[in-house]
Amino acid sequence: MFYSIKQDEVLLHIKAQPNASKSEFCGLYGDGLIKIRLKAPAVEGAANEALITFLAKSFKVPKKSIMLKSGKTSKHKTIAMPLSEKFKEWIITNGY
């Protein structure tokens, strides 16, 4: 499973693909990751910032409440963020 929920926090395990034509969810990737394409390049933290912005907009949470737990220089990342109603809806809608 690419996510886990503990109390009011979600941990997401992500495979990031920078330099895409647009930022979007691409579905499950391998065992336990979700793939997210990012328009930003993997230069000087631009892709990490784009990922945080994308998740904040997608799940209606403040950017400053999203933390990069691991994977700062890797394509495989673990993100912690607050559990939102929008995230719950997204999980149900996409059958995860």
- CATH code of the domain in which 25 resides: 3.30.1200.10
Task: Indicate the pTM of the whole model.
Answer: 0.95
Does 31 score more than 90 pLDDT?
A: no
The domain of 71 spans: 3-76
17 in a domain, yes or no?
A: yes
43 in a domain, yes or no?
A: yes
How many domains is the chain built from? 1
> pLDDT tens across 39-56, in order?
999 999 999 999 999 999
Q: How far apart are the C-alpha atoms of 32 and 12, rounded to whole Å?
A: 9
H helices of the chain, where? Answer: 46-59, 85-93
